[in-house]
Amino acid sequence: MLEKPSTKLLLVVIILLIFHNSNQILQTLSFDQTVVNPCPKCCFTDSNRPFINRSVPHEEKILVPLFDIDQENQLLGMREAIFFAQQLNRTLSIPPFFKKIVLAQSVERLSMPQDIILDSERLKESGVKTLDWKLLANTCAGKFDQFFVVNQNFNCRVTRRDLWDKFLRLINFNFDKNPYPKVNKDGKCGIENSLPVLKSKNYIAKSGKNIIEDFQTDAKCVLLAYPFENIDFLSIINSERKNASDDYQELNRTVSAVQIPEFIKKKVSERLTREEIADFTCIEWRKRASIRDIKNFKAKIEENLLFVKNPDKIDDSALSKIFNEFNLQNHIVIQILQNISNCTEFTNHSEVLKNLIEHEICRRSKKFVLTEKSAFAKNFLIENEFEKSKVEILTVSK
């Protein structure tokens, strides 16, 4: 008669089986996380930013942009600031971008990493020299020598006062020496020692030559206040494309320097491939757009797949009711966002990441329905000019 296995032996066998199975499960989970949910490498520490110089010669001229608060406005403004620096041969000092302006919050909580929209290698290729913004206070003695006023709509608004104050506090500049612009007796926005003297509300450059003529100054430290829609990129691209002029090449490098981060491009590509989404239409839907006019494009939208970039922050269920005739693909944003937001370095930047994800999804669409010329639409059209495979643009009137 065979002896029954001892209790100890049975216990050992059970433990080995549990260990073997759990190890397989852990390996599977580890593999899944490697494929599905790795924390991407994006944001450099302050001491390791590859596009920042630690010092500049004393005679170097500095350009410091102050950007508006909207994400797409900052993308466009950053491109314009780079182009200004290129044309004027100035070193560019780029303060952190602001996510939003709330009086009760600290500057640190409001700012986001610079390299979340800047491509360090392509910024180097643009030829623009840079300076660490933390050195501005010493380099410029705590004040700007001149102001480039390019946008009357922004400069004297009370709503921008908080931004101005936080910006000066961030770079450790003197408030008395850099007073907030005020409306003059003639009703115009005035900053002492400013360029240019605006004949209209906004300055618009049609070429690099315009900038050289209008903004040449010996002033060492200059603030470029709220660059936004001050360079007619599309006109320059269209006029200079054929002869591949210096302006055209510089614009190409400028557009390339301000990019959606590679890790977001990769995540969007993986998700679209996994769900076999290829031919779809993107629309930036705003409340002012006519749903009726948009639905008139239904016949032009292949596969009836639609992605809605939604600056009005309407949830998916509401969007589904509005666009009930279309097969909405907006769930992919939530999936990618959940994937990335698990990473510690992005915990406080979910809204920024959502905008960047939506931006990249639209860049991969086959058709883009343009409802109005928003900052996103302008960025999209500029980027599309330099793409090898262009997105077809469909226009809907307001």
β-strand pairing of 182-183 with 146-149: unpaired
**Structural contact between residues 380 and 364, judged by C-beta atoms closer than 8 angstroms:** no
Q: For residue 225, which phi and psi values (nearest 5 degrees)? A: -85, 115
Walk along the chain (398 residues) and give the pLDDT tens digit of each residue: 444 556 656 555 555 555 444 444 333 333 233 233 455 665 555 555 555 666 666 778 999 998 877 778 888 999 999 999 999 999 999 887 777 655 445 555 666 767 677 777 778 788 888 888 888 998 999 999 988 878 766 666 766 777 788 888 888 888 788 877 777 666 666 666 677 666 566 788 888 888 999 998 999 999 998 888 889 988 888 887 776 667 777 788 888 888 888 888 888 999 999 888 888 889 887 766 666 666 666 666 666 788 888 766 677 777 787 777 788 888 888 888 887 766 666 777 777 888 889 999 999 999 888 877 788 888 999 999 888 778 998 877 55
Q: Beta partners for 367?
A: 281, 392
Number of other residues whose CB lies within 10 A of the CB of residue 204:
12
What would you report as the CA-atom Rg of the chain, rounded to the nearest whole angstrom?
Answer: 26
In sequence order, what E strands does the chain have? 62-66, 91-92, 97-98, 111-112, 146-149, 182-183, 189-190, 194-195, 221-225, 281-284, 305-309, 327-328, 367-370, 392-395
β-strand pairing of 62-66 with 91-92: parallel
Residues in CB range of 169: below 8 A, 6 or more apart = 107
Q: What is the pLDDT of residue 254?
A: 84
CA–CA gap between residue 112 and residue 169 (Å, rounded): 16
Q: With CA atoms as reference, report the closest residue to 133 among 69, 52, 50, 59.
A: 52
Q: Which residue has the tokens 């950007």?
A: 67
Task: State the CATH class of domain 46-257.
Answer: alpha beta
Number of other residues whose CB lies within 10 A of the CB of residue 106:
11
Domain map of the chain by residue range? 46-257, 262-395
Q: What is the pLDDT of residue 107?
A: 57
Q: Beta partners for 370?
A: 395
Q: What is the pLDDT of residue 29?
A: 30
- Give me the DSSP letters along 14-78: HHHHHHHHHHHHHHHHHHHHHHH-PPPP-PPPGGG-TT--S---TT--EEEEE--SSHHHHHHHH
Specify the CATH architecture of the domain 262-395: 3-Layer(aba) Sandwich (3.40)
Residues in CB range of 74: below 8 A, 6 or more apart = 67, 68, 97, 98, 117
Q: What is the pLDDT of residue 291?
A: 67
Number of other residues whose CB lies within 10 A of the CB of residue 237:
18
Cα of 43 vs its chain's centroid, Å: 14
How crowded is the C-beta side of 283, counted as CA atoms within 13 Å? 27
CA–CA gap between residue 196 and residue 60 (Å, rounded): 22
Q: Cα-Cα-Cα-Cα dihedral of 373, 391, 84, 157, to 10°?
A: 20
Do the first three CATH levels of 46-257 and 262-395 match, i.e. the same topology?
Answer: yes
